[in-house]
Structure 1
């Protein structure tokens, strides 16, 4: 017999809140918690909808991982350490208890890995697509939150990890791309890797930053717009995985897709030139790809090819509307 709403909460969600006293065992109308002295609270909210942010037939464990990790990526981009999160699940009535069991098991695993706990939320049914919403809370030392608006002309542009895997992984899943080594690409689409280990480096060196969700070019453009600057980056400096390089070797036209496709959940950030060597000496997995330039339209990003010529891009990145 199905567990029903409150049975599901008791069995699958209440254990996820056990490590956060402020959740009050999910027995009350809201959570209660304080902020440690000398810190500020960082709050982010993301919604994920089947058919938009993940494929409707993706495994529930992969959906759970992506749902939580994209919010953790936002915290990392602000220089914050994870604290807790609230969760709203809007699930079709026909989605059984087994689906939620797999979903919750993955959340438990990610909570252990990333040091965060469920603090509450809501669970409702829907006649439409699976829709999930997380509000994540993080802590940052007072005055040290990383914003998008602190960059100046001459600042260097860095990005973490590798770019382009996720959008190519989605193309594989949709049957639009054949790759010699597809699994790393698929994994990056389904299970992003929030760069929380980069938080101390960002606090020390970054002048501005954000996570790459809409595409490298688009998101760097968001940084430039808030900072009132323009940027130039070099396509041949953008870090690519071996799997993506293999795809581009077979079809070089997909470079534009890799640069603008989104779902990377890396961090793009700016650094003062005088801090470049110290940043690189820190051992952080980051790559210098360009710089902010004087003049130019605020928010503009010029991508240069290997010959130093502007690379035409069909779009800057993903937009919902």
Structure 2
């Protein structure tokens, strides 16, 4: 890309205070970081592509938030504390009108979560963003998908379904006249990674995952890795009033809550013996926590409403689905 180094210097270098564990962040072939003794480094990489994960016409500040938040959420699901991020940007051409607010959004969220940019790349091509985040978690304390046991409670953070409603507005502007359409569109882009919850659940939760593809799909990953089944009580799903008014009925809102992707909330399991410890650990964290079901030995995921099985045929969010 012509002017690549000027672009990097102007928008990405020296935009943040340097963490004490960053030895070298820019100016050489690799970044150098120092991990504390007794910690493991959690690493996650995601790519967001214009037209698949966001519209090229979307607010670039919101796009930056979504891109980084989705990666931070992966760290939260492992109980890791955010530390460093690398970022590769592909653009059809240099567009500083787009890039300036993008970087404002990117560094605002990075600073909020103590995440320092330590390297990356820029190149010419279709608009896409690839981020690799790294965080720190004490050895033996990482939250995994594989530890759920029969009898564990199933919990989620926040509210579910709003992101899908926001995507409906983005993909079909006729939905813009529905109640709370603009608020839900904003919610699709501006999620809140639950790192504090993840850190608090270390040593308490038996399994965890972030909700990127919908509760149906993501809880299913826990069930598969743990070799268990589950019952989800759909009347317990946490729903927002804007979602209820946007879709017009509780059953429709409940189905949104089960299938909505890119929520970036956490779904986790906790043994009943650790429930009191969980509430104690979470009491000072400003985040709604809701129990939505129980792990069982059915070897499948059952949906119930007031104790009765539902025959809903639902699937999670699919990035490659044609809308």
The TM-score normalised by the length of structure 2 is 0.91
Q: Tell me which residue corresponds to 2:83.
A: 83
1:71 aligns with 2:71: yes
Runs of 4+ in 1 over 6 A off after TM superposition: none
CA distance in 1: counterparts of 2:277 and 2:27, whole angstroms: 49
What is the match of residue 162 of structure 2? 165
**1:19 Cα deviation (Å)?**
1.7
**What is the Cα deviation at residue 269 of structure 1?**
0.3
Q: Partner of 2:264 in structure 1?
A: 265
Q: Is the 8 A contact 1:256 1:313 kept in 2?
A: no
The answer to whether the 8 Å contact 1:71/1:134 transfers is: yes
Q: CA deviation at 1:319?
A: 5.3
Consecutive unaligned residues of structure 1, counting only runs of 5 or more, are: none
Residues 25, 315 of structure 1: CA spacing in aligned structure 2 closer, same or farther, 3 A cutoff? closer
One of 281, 288, 291 as aligned partner of 1:288: 291
Is 1:131 the equivalent of 2:125?
Answer: no
Indicate yes or no: 2:186 matched with 1:150. no
Say whether the 8 Å CA contact 2:81–2:199 is kept in structure 1.
Answer: no
Q: How does 1:69-218 map to 2 (within 5 A)?
A: 69-93=69-93, 95-126=94-125, 128=126, 130-175=127-172, 177=175, 178-218=177-217
More deviation in 215-224 or 236-245? Answer: 236-245
Equivalent residue of 1:120, what SS?
strand
Shift of 1:34: 1.6
Query: How many angstroms does 1:258 deviate by?
Result: 2.9
Matched residues in 2 for 1:306 and 1:319: separation?
32
Distance 1:83 1:25, change over 3 A: closer
How many residue pairs are counted as aligned between the two chains?
A: 314
Deviations 1:101-147 (A, max 9, x none): 11111122112211111000111010x3x111000000011110100
Residue aligned with 1:26, SS: coil
Partner of 1:48: 48
Offset of residue 265 of structure 1: 0.4
Asked if the contact 1:17–1:23 (Cα under 8 Å) also holds between the matched residues in 2, the reply is no
Query: Once the 2 structures are TM-superposed, how far is the Cα of residue 277 of structure 1 from its aligned partner?
Result: 3.2
1:251 is displaced (CA, Å) by 7.1
Q: What is the rounded CA distance, in whole Å, between the counterparts of 2:97 and 2:19 in structure 1?
A: 25
Cα root mean square deviation, aligned: 2.0
Q: Which whole-Å CA distance do the structure 2 matches of 1:25 and 1:226 have between them?
A: 37
Q: What is the CA distance between 1:192 and its match in structure 2?
A: 1.3
Deviation at 1:250, TM superposition (A): 4.5
Mapping of 1:53-64 within 5 angstroms?
53-64=53-64
Q: Kindly indicate whether residue 233 of structure 2 is the aligned counterpart of residue 234 of structure 1.
A: yes
Counterpart of 1:192 in 2: which secondary structure? coil
- 1:233 shift after superposition: 0.4
Q: Deviations over 1:155-192 (max 9, x none)?
A: 11000011100010010122263531123311221111
Measured at CA, do residues 203 and 187 of structure 1 come closer, stay the same or move farther in structure 2, by a change above 3 Å? same
Corresponding residue SS for 1:206:
coil
